[in-house]
Chains A and B, each alone.
Chain A
Amino acid sequence: MHPFSFLIFLVILSLVLVIASLFMGSVPLSLQTVWSSLFEASTQQSSLIITELRLPRALAAFATGALLAQAGALMQVLVRNPLADPYILGVSGGAATAVLIGMLLGFSSSIGLTGLAFIGALVAMFLVFIIAHQKGTWTPTRLLLTGVVVAAGWGAAISLILSISPANNLHGMLFWLMGDLSYSSSSAFAFSALLIGLILSLLLSSQLNVLIRGDKLASTLGINLKQLHIKIYILASLLTAAAVVQAGSIGFVGFIVPHLIRLTGITDHRFLLPAATLGGGILVLVADTAARTIIAPQQLPVGIITALIGIPLFLFLLQRDAKQ
């Protein structure tokens, strides 16, 4: 399939899945109800379920996944390792810690929290890079190890914050942390970040195609390495921050999706980035719909579902790479 047709297929699939997710949940709704609640003003309870709960949640899920997958694809180029992911490298952890501190201090605006998350993500990435980047080379194991250890550090910081938080905030904080979309009301902010991020990364995409072949080769082909590294670094942090503010830290999306897209044969970042963005949206939308229907009316945090997919895939790839 031509990459362009594949992108169109993903767009159509996204739309179909967003609509399909409106039917799923603890209350079964008819086609007519869904239709009328979307296109006619109505205050019936069934309409409210659609317009106030399911649609915003579906959109939030889509935006979060899209942000994470794009951030993952960018980080993988930056560290030239297909196992990189905002969660695995502890970037989500840094952003989440910053957001929790903000919550503890009484911040509530999503712009304020995103600002904090952005700073948290930048600090987290910077820490991992400083420690893992030695003698101009990225050792994959060293990088992953550093990421994991730093992520554990963020985990400890998060536990500390939770333990000193007032009890009435605790349940919400915990669910948000585990990757939960049930508190998502508006995703306008996440979609704006997504759109800006996608435009900026598309502008970089031809340079990314060169950078994946190594720093030295990229230099000989006219890339200003320092500038490009900083751009990717800031962009990936911003995308991660927006995703974390929207839905806490959902793991492995940024690693699973670009990998699956590459399996379809798309390796050119001019296609890979938009495809990963759509694919990430689809993955989290499907995972979240599953999370709220599997044991309905009980709901699971979506992070559990993505971890169930991501961890086996990660271990499989790690083992396969070790064999080569």
Chain B
Amino acid sequence: MSLIKCNSLSVKIAETQVCSNLDITINVGENWAILGMNGCGKTTLLHTLAGLHPVQSGSIELNKILLNNISRREIAQQLSLLLQHQEDHFPGTVLESVLIGRHPHLKSWQWESEDDQKLAQKALAQVGLSHFAQRSILTLSGGERQRVAVATLLVQQTKIRLLDEPVNHLDVHHQHEVMKLLTSNNMDIANMFVLHDVNLANRYCDHVLLVYEDGRTEHGSCVDVLNEENLSNLYQHPINEINHAGKHWFIAG
């Protein structure tokens, strides 16, 4: 079942052509990685899929309905987006910050229920921050703040999750914990990750979308698309493939 479908989608930001005539379908249970150089427009593409950036041409369908015809609130019930940077201007607890993820599911006069609280506690436990529930959000380190953002995304409980550099600020252990958490038990969910680590993409994702600097794109299964030639072209830097323990690894030359 397709969750997102792009029909000859073109996206442009300022002078950068991010993609042109992209036809892509994201199905349930799939994990996609978006790879590309800095400034090629990966974030813009993700924001476009979330309806936060206008399309240049073409269309996007969410669950077979045109994105333009869905209200922000209905989009938020089906699609979540982990932003690259977390903003905190006001004090508040970690738990409050996570509970914000329930907003699209609550009526304006409705308070968070006992179940919502439990959901938030569970999400905090999943990112290993249970004991931080009452801590001030302003006292967290970059990596801890990032995990709180992941927990907020989890309680939003959407079928489609767009994640802009979810492993930003995370140490190696937590990078894998978060990727495992997001990619396991998701038979009815589709993830799209913007990543900078090819090996992380290769390990946790089944599909990949390469966004070249000139606005060309290439997509398919990891096995088909991830190879020395494509990656060297993509990053304009020699990338070598090595085989170890029956797996492919990519190392910058």
A positions within 8 Å CB-CB of B: 76, 80-82, 203, 206-207, 209-210, 212-214, 216-217, 219-224, 262, 267-268, 270
**Residue contact B108 to A221, C-beta cutoff 8 Å:** no
Contact with A along B86-111 (1 / 0, CB 8 A): 11111111001100110110101111
Contact of B103 among A82, A216, A222 (CB under 8 A): A222
Contact of B83 among A209, A212, A220 (CB under 8 A): A220
Give the CA-CA distance A69 to B157 in the complex, in Å: 36
- Which of B34-42, B68-76, B204-212, B238-246 binds A? B68-76
Does B151 sit within 8 A of A, measured CB to CB?
A: no
With A82-B89, A222-B76, A268-B96 given, can you name 14 additional A-B contacts, CB distance below 8 Å? A81-B89, A206-B103, A206-B108, A212-B90, A213-B100, A217-B83, A217-B87, A217-B100, A221-B76, A222-B72, A222-B74, A222-B103, A224-B73, A267-B91
Please give, as numbers and ranges, the residues of chain B lying within 8 Å of A203 by CB-CB distance: 108-109
Please give, as numbers and ranges, the residues of chain A lying within 8 Å of B103 by CB-CB distance: 206-207, 209-210, 221-223
Interface centre among A203, A216, A223, A270 (most CB of B within 10 A): A216
Give the CA-CA distance A221 to B104 in the complex, in Å: 6
| B226 CB, min distance to chain A CBs, angstroms | 29
Within 8 A of A (CB), among B34-86: 50, 52, 71-77, 80-81, 83, 86
Query: A213-B97, A216-B52, A267-B96 are contacts. A206–B106 as well, Cβ < 8 Å?
Result: yes
Please give, as numbers and ranges, the residues of chain B lying within 8 Å of A262 by CB-CB distance: 90-91
Interface centre among B89, B96, B97 (most CB of A within 10 A): B89
Please give, as numbers and ranges, the residues of chain A lying within 8 Å of B81 by CB-CB distance: 220
Does B121 sit within 8 A of A, measured CB to CB?
A: no
Nearest residue in B to A220 (C-beta to C-beta)? B81
Interface residues on B, range: 20 to 34
Please give, as numbers and ranges, the residues of chain A lying within 8 Å of B100 by CB-CB distance: 209-210, 213, 217, 221
Nearest residue in A to B162 (C-beta to C-beta)? A220
Can you spell out 22 A-B residue pairs with CB atoms less than 8 angstroms apart?
A76-B90, A82-B90, A206-B106, A207-B108, A209-B100, A210-B103, A212-B89, A213-B88, A213-B97, A214-B89, A217-B83, A217-B86, A221-B76, A221-B101, A221-B103, A222-B77, A222-B103, A222-B104, A223-B103, A224-B71, A224-B72, A267-B93
Nearest residue in B to A81 (C-beta to C-beta)? B89
Give the CA-CA distance A82 to B90 in the complex, in Å: 7
Please give, as numbers and ranges, the residues of chain A lying within 8 Å of B50 by CB-CB distance: 219-220
Interface centre among A82, A220, A221, A268 (most CB of B within 10 A): A220
Please give, as numbers and ranges, the residues of chain A lying within 8 Å of B76 by CB-CB distance: 220-222
**Residue contact B90 to A267, C-beta cutoff 8 Å:** yes
Give the CA-CA distance A1 to B156 in the complex, in Å: 29
| B79 CB, min distance to chain A CBs, angstroms | 8
Query: A206-B108, A220-B83, A221-B103 are contacts. A267–B73 as well, Cβ < 8 Å?
Result: no
Please give, as numbers and ranges, the residues of chain B lying within 8 Å of A206 by CB-CB distance: 103, 106, 108, 110
Please give, as numbers and ranges, the residues of chain A lying within 8 Å of B89 by CB-CB distance: 80-82, 212, 214
Please give, as numbers and ranges, the residues of chain A lying within 8 Å of B91 by CB-CB distance: 262, 267
Query: A213-B88, A267-B90, A268-B96 are contacts. A220–B80 as well, Cβ < 8 Å?
Result: yes
Please give, as numbers and ranges, the residues of chain B lying within 8 Å of A223 by CB-CB distance: 72, 103
| A232 CB, min distance to chain B CBs, angstroms | 15
